[in-house]
Structure 1
């Protein structure tokens, strides 16, 4: 073997990634963000294991226990290898997952949420210096969000319902914005006939009760997620901002650095606050806009029973007149922004008050 050939072979064996400075490797890990991928990196070498613990930006997607079976389950294999090796392995995995699912089902709360994904701290134990955390919870089949609403509306004789919300908390609820509709579908231009009667823009008692139910369910969901944030923040002392969303893209709870500091100080002065089942919702004032039929020409859609609710604690609601900026900043999708703007442009609104619960 010549000198040139030996040198070339040595160069091919050099691990250039291993020669990168720790600061660059750490920056790469911060851009990866995914907690499961980063946790896998800790098994590669001691250096990666040490650097992963210093990752500042982490995102965590929590899946349902049945996801393992859904990923491993395939149709029955034929042939000797499939019949006597693959199929028995699949059946074994199926039994394990089924047994686990039955056990987990005994731990479900009233909302049907599995306690196995209520506490993600176990999955975050490899990270000691998290500053920005994003958690995505599993979506529910019954969730009604903008994404599956449009999918449902594409089916014959079906228009998907819509319910989205975003809440912000410090030590308690600061604001919540809810956008809902009993129908959400692509618009079809229809010529207006002479003599058509205008649709009433007033809410009936039945319609109002439905929207109160929407509001209560969203507030309960947000307060339950805030309880999860208390547990995360209590065990991760360097967190500055955190967000919890869900796979259905229905609801989001977000906390900025100021709000995290406020909550951490509250927990330091009250050791029992983390033990509560969920954060108590204070007495709130709800400002609500409603339109029976809302045309959205910019995104080519129409909402039936379109409703926007801006919710604030009653004590802080007085003098607040920034409903438009608060609601406009709640949702990122083009259709949602257009709907919020058009609803608030409608001058008439309802004001409701709700006691603490």
Structure 2
């Protein structure tokens, strides 16, 4: 009989291969290969799970479109009124299948990456094919840091800038009232998306006690929520009380935040060959958590995307934080 070469491999080496494979769907299929594979697959300590979207429900309401119409036309305090007075607004409409069923057998997993459906890509606030919206959040028991990078246009530079677009002496420009309101609505919508993902991650942590690192991103690579070893340990220490508090919201409550915003009408990125128009960087931290401005040292700006684009995003964040002019605001808990 023809020899099975896999029999020459030790269990540790097979597990190393499974960890490199990572994808939960592929790992599950390996169960049917052999009894030996079936006995080892669920001992993998690294898992990537891409969750398919649910079928479209024509009756589903678009919360973000409601927010745009209401908030741009009315004072900003409407948002808190809207959240407080509408019970349905506090409930997250689940547009994807729960990962619990797929992941329940992976009890040894230490590193997990969950990819959610992109849900139409952008939040509906950024328009145009060349527009950009990226965000990254770090959570423990609550939000630790949050960064949003957006632009009306993000393209490779094909020719030198015109004299009117020279950015060399730009220290930041003034936003109009309409632009500022739009940025606040954009920030709120990203915070809602992040807090909903964090709520899902807490549910996963309840059932996977070996987990040390977890990321929740989306298929469109727009934003991601990260929790490292220290954040996971923090959330485990208080997870019982948090679940009892948050069960009615189906998302993590956003605490009082300090917000800093930088804006540039034109931003040239010579290191990576890109140019951004209508570029905005927003950084948020909990109130009393120190001065905003050290994101480039803490890895806050590790936005998702292709490798060449990720470097451009980091360059953009570094350059914008050098500007002398910025907006400082506070945001109440919701």
1:334 corresponding residue in structure 2:
311
Aligned partner of 1:268 in structure 2 is 240
Q: After TM superposition, list the pairs within 5 Å mapping 1:1-357 onto structure 2.
A: 10=1, 13-65=2-54, 101=55, 110=63, 115=94, 117=96, 119-143=98-122, 160-187=130-157, 188-192=159-163, 201-270=173-242, 272-273=244-245, 275-276=247-248, 277-316=250-289, 318-319=290-291, 321-326=293-298, 329-331=301-303, 333-357=310-334
Deviations 1:42-86 (A, max 9, x none): 122222122112110000111235xxxxxxxxxxxxxxxxxxxxx
2:147, 2:300 within 8 Å by CA — same for their partners in 1? no
Q: How many equivalent pairs are there?
A: 295
Runs of 5+ consecutive residues of structure 2 not aligned to the other structure: 66-91
Structure with the bigger RCO (C-alpha within 8 Å, sep 6+) is 2
Q: Secondary structure at the match of 2:175?
A: coil
Residue 40 of structure 1 aligns to a residue in which SS?
helix
Offset at residue 315 of structure 1 (A)? 2.5
Q: In 2 relative to 1, CA 241–334 (structure 1 residues): closer, same or farther, beyond 3 Å?
A: same
Whole-angstrom CA distance in 1 between matches of 2:133 and 2:187: 10
Q: Name the SS for the 1:160 alignment partner.
A: coil
Change (3 A) 1:275 1:212: same
Aligned-residue offset at 1:205: 0.9
CA offsets 1:73-108 (integer angstroms, 9 cap, x no match): xxxxxxxxxxxxxxxxxxxxxxxxxxxx36x66688
What SS does structure 1 have at the residue aligned with 2:44? coil
Do the aligned partners of residues 261 and 191 (structure 1) sit closer, same or farther apart at CA in structure 2, a change above 3 Å counting? closer
Q: Which runs of 5+ in 1 are unaligned?
A: 1-9, 66-100, 153-157
How far 1:142 moved relative to its partner? 4.1
Larger helix fraction of residues = 1
1:218 counterpart SS class: helix
Cα gap change, 1:111/1:27 in structure 2, threshold over 3 Å: closer, same or farther?
A: farther
* Counterpart secondary structure, 1:272: helix
Q: Are the aligned partners of 2:121 and 2:222 in contact in 1 as well (CA < 8 Å)? A: no
CA drift of 1:274 comes to 6.0
